[in-house]
């Protein structure tokens, strides 16, 4: 005769191991790792965490779809220049901003970090177009899923830097800046993180194709 204790042992042994509940794909609900890919809901401008299978459904950037996969592309533009006057004309009050093409608005929009997170600004069209006319290589930017990160140093202290980054990397950066921000100018932790971030993404970036090819 099988004792209740033996029966309980057998039932417990037959059970599959319990899988810890973690993040899940926001499309199919499959479990996903901490490091995973994203798609953008173009209409709602929301990032969605996805599994590899769902991500691959939306990798065609030319398709007219509601969702677009965020590519893993990092580029730098070694010939990029922008004067302080041109930067001031874009009406961005700080020396760093992200620029992305919003397909719903059919225009380029800027957002920049601050103590409350990301502040968004519609660019003066003529001034931004003047920058693009001088740097056609910037048109390689994919709408909605990539952004140009431009950093302008303090007046007279160096050259501006321009990088192309995945949009999820940009939002992660802004979110981290918000958590670190202290006082009027962000504080030491923000400036240290900014330098570390630029070093990391610059190391990943490859030269952009000339002329936006």
Q: Are 180 and 189 in contact (CB under 8 A)?
A: yes
Position with higher pLDDT, 64 vs 204: 204
- Lowest mean pLDDT: which of 11-25, 105-119, 146-160, 183-197? 11-25
Rg (CA), the chain: 22
Tell me if residue 79 falls in helix, strand or coil.
Answer: coil
List the single range of 52-61, 74-83, 174-183 with lowest mean pLDDT. 174-183
Per the prediction, the chain carries an average pLDDT of 84
Nearest CA to 95 out of 171, 180, 154, 165 is that of: 154
Report the SS3 class of residue 156. Answer: coil
């Amino acid at each position: 005769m099988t004792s209740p204790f033996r029966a309980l042992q057998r039932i417990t042994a037959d059970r599959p191991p319990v899988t810890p509940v973690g993040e899940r794909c926001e499309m199919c609900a499959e479990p996903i790792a901490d490091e995973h890919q994203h798609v953008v809901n173009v209409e709602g401008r929301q990032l969605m965490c996805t599994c590899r299978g769902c991500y691959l459904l939306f990798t065609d950037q030319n398709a007219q779809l509601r969702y677009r996969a965020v590519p893993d592309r990092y580029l730098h533009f070694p010939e990029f220049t922008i004067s302080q006057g041109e930067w001031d004309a874009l009406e961005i009050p700080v020396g760093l901003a992200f620029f992305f093409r919003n397909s719903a608005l059919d225009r380029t929009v800027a957002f920049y970090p601050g103590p409350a997170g990301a502040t968004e600004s519609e660019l003066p069209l003529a001034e931004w177009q003047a920058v693009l006319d001088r740097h056609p290589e910037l048109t390689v930017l994919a709408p909605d899923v990539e952004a140009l990160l431009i950093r302008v140093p303090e007046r007279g202290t160096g050259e501006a830097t321009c990088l192309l980054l995945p949009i999820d990397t940009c939002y992660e950066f802004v979110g981290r800046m918000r958590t670190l921000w202290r006082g009027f100018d962000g504080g030491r932790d923000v400036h240290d993180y900014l330098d570390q971030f630029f070093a990391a993404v610059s190391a990943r970036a490859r030269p952009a194709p000339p002329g936006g090819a």
